[in-house]
Amino acid sequence: MSSVQRRSFLKTTASVAAVSALPAARLDAQEAAPAATVVVVHGKDIPKMLAAGIAKLGGWEAFIKPGNKVVLKPNVAWNSQPEQGGNTHPDLIKACVLAAEAQGAAAINIPENTCHPEKATFKASGVEEALKGTKARLYRPAKEDYQKVEIPRGKIVKSADVPKDVLACDCLINMPVAKSHSATTLTLSMKNWMGSVSNETRRSWHRDGLHQCIADFSTFIKPKLIIIDATRIMLTKGPQGPGDMAVPNELILSTDPVAADAYAATLFKKEPFDIGYIKIAQEMGVGCGDLKRIKIERVEV
Amino acid sequence: MFTRRNLIRLLLLVACALLALGYVPEAWRPQSVLLPSLSPLLNLGGAAARHAAGAGVLLALPLLILPLFKGRAFCWRLCPMGFAAESVSRLNRRNAGLVRKVPFIGKGLALVMLGSAAAGYPVLLWTDPLCLFNGFFAAWRAPLAWASGATALGFVLILLTSLLAPNLWCHRLCPLGGLEEWLTQLGNRFRPARTPARPDAGIAGNVKVGRRVFLGFAAGGAAGLAYGKLKPGSARAAAFIRPPGAADQAFNALCSRCGNCMTACPYDLIVPDLGASGIDGLFTPVLKFRNQNSAQEQFCFQDCTACTHVCPSHALRPLKVAEKQQTAIGLARIDKKACIAWEKGEYCVVCQEFCPYQAIIESDHKKVKCPTVDEDKCRGCGACESQCPAQPIAIVVAGRNPQPRLAHPSPALLKE
């Protein structure tokens, strides 16, 4: 064996060894560094809880710049009262709107395709009252307020009707309420988009495979921030209720919708991957739903 | 022509028309009941037939008392139908003599209407002028324009009689005018000095009038009873859905077709029936739930009682929200062959999601939740039908007539 041969042999062996060691090293790194962070704020004063959670994520300036067009997507779908947990808590929506105003947002739109007549719903939910005096605009999109968009990475959903305001905004914040759901077991942040798209779109999702469709849409819609209202949660009879309630007194904040949903599922004593859309969304690369790889930062207010 | 009196009549006509059209602030909408409720024929006739008298019957008092003292002042000074007929009559001055030759049919009509109402089955309520006036304008707001056009016909026909002979309707045909005429005569009897003597003012005349009134009532009563016994058609009770609070019996007779309920429905669900409720139920109100991609509700919302508060003849009883939520107007039925869950095994149960009464029971089949209707809880509101994503729709509401009161409490009310 010549020295040249020996050298090349050693080189090759070394590089093969290095390459084969790489995945293991990457795995180790993954175990060490979490793929997503979820901030869980526990307390009773919703505005203070929100402020504390946002501070953990770098403050509002990380999300809203002066002159931004902001869109909030709470869940205000049902003609039910705040304590019933059918809708996002009005205090939380108000706190977000006030923060956006303080950041100098140019517009704050809250398009919501309600399930009950919007007039009764906005009133009973307490949201209309909470938004009085702010510049937020809460409305139910009419046909002309929607725009059909392509969902390039969707397996089933190839296109969807999305409110124009949602498409045109600078900062999109998804702020659902966590609750049980007749069809999908739980409704969390990714499921919340069904209250944004048109009736035609959401009906087709029911026909075509609900969990896959919800995950498909999540490959397209990119909220900057997810705030899940788990101050009180409807354990049964969701999404409309009234049902049995629990009071975790938590707000769940994250920039990763899959991680936020995965943590929220644990409040209902569910395995995240038992919820179809969480599992599919992780497989499609929307985010991380594996609790072992999610860093949970707890804040007490 | 443009006297102060006519100006008042014109303003009143416009106001009544706007109310009937629903072109008023939303808080005023329920006031569309005011005009037709003024007619004792509709108001008292309906209340008598239904044995249901609320404070609303007081609205009939002015037209019962006024003629005793002022004759037909309402007809000549206020009635919007009368003003419309009189205005058209100005186009035609011929045939004035014809009016004198025609007998006062309206006086007989009034007696027949009240007599039959007392017998429990009012007939010809829809000939009331205030209801015809109202129906004409309400027709423009009803969802099925061409069919509801029929309720507009009465108004047009009255105007046509005015072209035949001036004021023929008011002087000879109008049943409300007829009632006012009877009451005027009654008033005159107590004040004979103030009015010129009439040929029938003597005792013999009184007997004659009394006999006529008796005969009119009796004829009405007989007609009402006959109508009740020999109801035409054999409508299938499940084929049509009535608005909540509908009378269990004689609905078709009680309904004056004034169109108020159709205009009042915020979701445009009430349409004129085209025969499902029987030939005598033509143009009575029925509910049609829709399943469209519109951003408007297409089911009978649990907190809404708008239609029940605008019925002048009590065919629809005024309901409180709690009563409405206990009233089953229909019953949902599932076609398993069309159902996404039952047939395809997909996650759906949108019907359960939207049901305000938690009346959809789930059962497992093909490893997904599948819906079944709980007949003790279903109110037939149509929330399921309006949202069902299956094509064709897999859950459809059939009517329940008479409408049962359900014992099961409404979950929607538990929050209070």
The CA–CA distances, whole Å, from A138 to A76, A122, A135, A201 equal 10, 8, 10, 21
Q: Which of A16-20, A126-130, A227-231, A261-265 has the lowest mean pLDDT?
A: A16-20
Residue range A32-39: average pLDDT?
A: 83
Tell me: pLDDT of A32 over 90. Answer: no
Q: Give me the pLDDT at residue A1, please.
A: 45
The answer to whether A115 contacts B294, with C-beta atoms less than 8 Å apart, is no
B205 Cβ under 8 Å from any chain A Cβ:
no
Q: What is the pLDDT along chain B (416 residues), one digit of tens a residue?
A: 568 888 989 999 999 999 888 888 888 888 888 898 999 998 888 888 888 777 788 899 999 999 999 999 999 999 999 999 999 888 877 777 788 888 899 999 999 898 888 888 888 888 999 999 988 888 776 555 566 666 788 899 999 988 888 889 999 999 999 999 999 988 888 776 555 555 554 555 566 777 778 888 788 888 777 777 766 555 678 889 999 999 988 888 889 888 889 888 988 899 888 888 888 888 899 999 988 877 777 899 999 999 999 999 889 999 999 999 999 999 999 999 999 999 988 888 999 999 999 999 988 777 788 999 999 999 999 999 999 999 899 999 999 989 999 887 777 654 44
B27 Cβ under 8 Å from any chain A Cβ:
no
| Tokens coding A79 | 């003609």
| Tokens coding A105 | 């947002």
Q: Report the half-sphere exposure of A109 (CA within 13 A, side-chain side).
A: 23
**What residues 34-93 of chain A have any CB closer than 8 A to a CB of chain B?**
79-81, 84
Distance, in angstroms, between B134 CA and closest chain A CA?
28
B416 Cβ under 8 Å from any chain A Cβ:
no
A257 Cβ under 8 Å from any chain B Cβ:
no
The answer to whether A206 contacts B389, with C-beta atoms less than 8 Å apart, is yes
Count CB atoms within 10 A of the CB of residue A11: 10
A211 Cβ under 8 Å from any chain B Cβ:
yes
Tell me: pLDDT of A175 over 60. Answer: yes
Residues 6+ apart with CB under 8 A from B229: none
| DSSP letter assigned to residue B327 | B
A182 Cβ under 8 Å from any chain B Cβ:
yes
Tell me: pLDDT of A166 over 60. Answer: yes
The answer to whether A206 contacts B411, with C-beta atoms less than 8 Å apart, is no
Residue A215 with chain B: CB contacts under 8 Å: none
Q: Report the half-sphere exposure of B309 (CA within 13 A, side-chain side).
A: 16
B26 Cβ under 8 Å from any chain A Cβ:
no
B200 Cβ under 8 Å from any chain A Cβ:
no
The answer to whether B389 contacts A203, with C-beta atoms less than 8 Å apart, is yes
Q: Give me the pLDDT at residue A9, please.
A: 56
Distance, in angstroms, between B216 CA and closest chain A CA?
50
A271 Cβ under 8 Å from any chain B Cβ:
no
- What's the ipTM? 0.82
CB contact at 8 A, B38 and B60: yes
Best residue in B349, B353, B354, B367 for a mutation probing chain A (most A CBs within 10 Å): B353
How would residue A29 be classed by pLDDT, with cut points 50, 70 and 90?
very low
Q: Give me the pLDDT at residue A40, please.
A: 97
The answer to whether B358 contacts A237, with C-beta atoms less than 8 Å apart, is yes
The answer to whether B295 contacts A113, with C-beta atoms less than 8 Å apart, is yes
Nearest to B303 among A120, A209, A239 (CB): A120
A242 Cβ under 8 Å from any chain B Cβ:
yes
Q: Rounded distance, CA A158 to CA B110, Å?
A: 66
Domains and CATH numbers, chain A: 1-33 (no CATH), 35-300 (3.40.50.11440)
Domains and CATH numbers, chain B: 4-229 (no CATH), 328-403 (3.30.70.20)
Q: Rounded distance, CA A83 to CA B61, Å?
A: 48
The answer to whether B346 contacts A209, with C-beta atoms less than 8 Å apart, is yes
The answer to whether B267 contacts A143, with C-beta atoms less than 8 Å apart, is no
Q: Considering only CA atoms, which of A148, A165, A55, A64 is closest in space to residue A111?
A: A165
B354 Cβ under 8 Å from any chain A Cβ:
yes
A156 Cβ under 8 Å from any chain B Cβ:
no
Q: Rounded distance, CA B317 to CA B47, Å?
A: 10
Tell me: pLDDT of A103 over 80. Answer: yes
Q: Give me the pLDDT at residue A24, please.
A: 47
CB contact at 8 A, B60 and B45: no
Q: What is the pLDDT of residues B200-252, one digit of tens each?
A: 545 555 667 777 788 887 888 887 777 777 665 556 788 899 999 999 888 88
B415 Cβ under 8 Å from any chain A Cβ:
yes
The answer to whether A143 contacts B414, with C-beta atoms less than 8 Å apart, is no
Q: Rounded distance, CA A27 to CA B24, Å?
A: 70
Q: Give me the pLDDT at residue A67, please.
A: 95
The answer to whether A206 contacts B352, with C-beta atoms less than 8 Å apart, is no
B248 Cβ under 8 Å from any chain A Cβ:
no
Q: Considering only CA atoms, which of B276, B284, B282, B280 is closest in space to residue B230?
A: B280
Q: Rounded distance, CA A230 to CA B251, Å?
A: 50
B348 Cβ under 8 Å from any chain A Cβ:
yes
CB contact at 8 A, B281 and B235: yes
For Cα atoms B138, B305, B397, give the angle at the middle one, nearest 5 degrees: 90
Q: What is the dihedral of CA B100, B102, B107, B112, to 10 degrees?
A: 180
* Nearest residue in chain B measured CA to CA from A201: B293
Residue B215 has phi, psi (to 5 degrees) of -60, -40
Contacts 24+ apart (CB under 8 A), A91-95: A91/A46, A91/A47, A91/A130, A92/A46, A92/A50, A92/A175, A92/A227, A92/A229, A92/A231, A92/A251, A93/A127, A93/A130, A93/A131, A93/A136, A93/A175, A94/A47, A94/A130, A94/A131, A94/A134, A95/A46, A95/A47, A95/A50, A95/A51
**What residues 126-155 of chain A have any CB closer than 8 A to a CB of chain B?**
140-143
Q: Give me the pLDDT at residue A25, please.
A: 46
How would residue A79 be classed by pLDDT, with cut points 50, 70 and 90?
very high
Best residue in B304, B325, B347, B350 for a mutation probing chain A (most A CBs within 10 Å): B347
Q: Give me the pLDDT at residue B139, please.
A: 77
